[in-house]
Amino acid sequence: MSLILYFHPLASYCHKVLIPLYENGTVFTPEIVDLMDAESSAELFAIWPVGKFPVIKDTDRNLVVPETSIIIEYLDQFHAGPIRFIPEDPNEARNVRLWDRFFDLYVSTPMQKIVGDRLRAQDTTDDYGVIEARVNLDGAYDMLESQLAGKQWAAGDAFSMADCSAAPALFYAECVHPFTPKYPIMAAYFDRLMSRPSVKRVLEEAKPYFQYFPFNEAIPARFL
Ligand SMILES: N[C@@H](CCC(=O)N[C@@H](CS)C(=O)NCC(=O)O)C(=O)O
């Protein structure tokens, strides 16, 4: 088995890569990283000194592949399965990459800001930064309500890398900054995403760790 995935079952960016792995039934060795454990953490920093995960190691090719979008492209090119996550057509591919970037930068980033702030000591919280993150999420939700109109998936009719990015971003964003009834199209898309077997499996495996999510009280009952 040549692929080793360094990840944590609760981490949203790890969900982004587990989804395509499960979609295609790609065989890999899971290696859980515990950042609270010095040895486990050192192992991650040794292969990717940025210290962020997930990271994939392909032992057959003696290659370390970090960064979720790069990992998904790598899987698509070198461990391809029936589902392709980046279309062949360059225009469609660019559109998928755009919406992948959108979910990472404009949904995940503000979502993580809000989550991270709850983990800070009381005298170091960043109230203004959290307000800004909520404004940014409102803007992203508004844009998604238009983008998703008439579409099955984020970038069109086919499930793609953009949806792998969207599922964890929206799952955790919905907890920290709930969708309002103003967003029926986005809510319907969210339900389609959450019904996808790969996404269900990822969330099922995250369940034992939900207690460590700082907004665990906001996780909707249907996921518990
Ligand atoms: N741009 C990176 C972001 C990865 C990321 O932020 N991962 C989080 C887990 S969801 C992480 O490593 N957190 C630990 C830390 O920042 O120390 C990617 O797409 O892979």
96 Cα–ligand 1 center, Å: 21
Q: Is the CB of 67 under 6 A from ligand 1?
A: yes
Tell me if 147 is assigned to some domain: yes
176 part of a folded domain: yes
pLDDT tens-digit map of 135-167? 999 999 999 999 999 999 999 999 999 999 999
How far is ligand 1, taken at its centre, from the CA of residue 132, in Å? Answer: 21
Q: Give domain status of residue 119, yes or no.
A: yes
Q: Using a 6 Å cutoff on CB, does residue 52 contact ligand 1?
A: yes
Residue 208 belongs to some domain of the structure: no
Count of domains forming the chain: 1
The Å distance, Cα 109 to ligand 1 centre, comes to: 10
pTM of the model as a whole: 0.97
Ligand 1 within 6 A of CB of 51 = yes
Assign residue 121 the CATH number of its domain: 1.20.1050.10
Confidence band of 181 (pLDDT split at 50, 70, 90): very high
Residue 16 lies in a domain: no
Confidence label for 1 from pLDDT (cuts 50, 70 and 90): low
221 pLDDT band, cuts 50/70/90, is very high
Three-state secondary structure string covering the chain: CCEEEEECCCCHHHHHHHHHHHHCCCCCEEEECCCCCHHHHHHHHHHCCCCCCCEEEECCCCEEEECHHHHHHHHHHHCCCCCCCCCCCHHHHHHHHHHHHHHHHHHHHHHHHHHHHHHCCHHHCCHHHHHHHHHHHHHHHHHHHHHCCCCCECCECCCCHHHHHHHHHHHHHHHHCCCCCCCHHHHHHHHHHHHCHHHHHHHHHHHHHHHHCCCHHHCCHHHC
Average pLDDT for 30-51: 96
Q: 186-215: per-residue pLDDT in tens? A: 999 999 999 999 999 999 999 999 999 999
Domain of 107, in residue numbers: 90-196
Residue 148 lies in a domain: yes
Give domain status of residue 67, yes or no.
Answer: no
Q: With a cut of 90, say whether residue 22 has pLDDT above it.
A: yes
Q: Is 182 in the pocket of ligand 1 (CB under 6 A)?
A: no
Residue 211 lies inside a defined structural domain of this protein: no
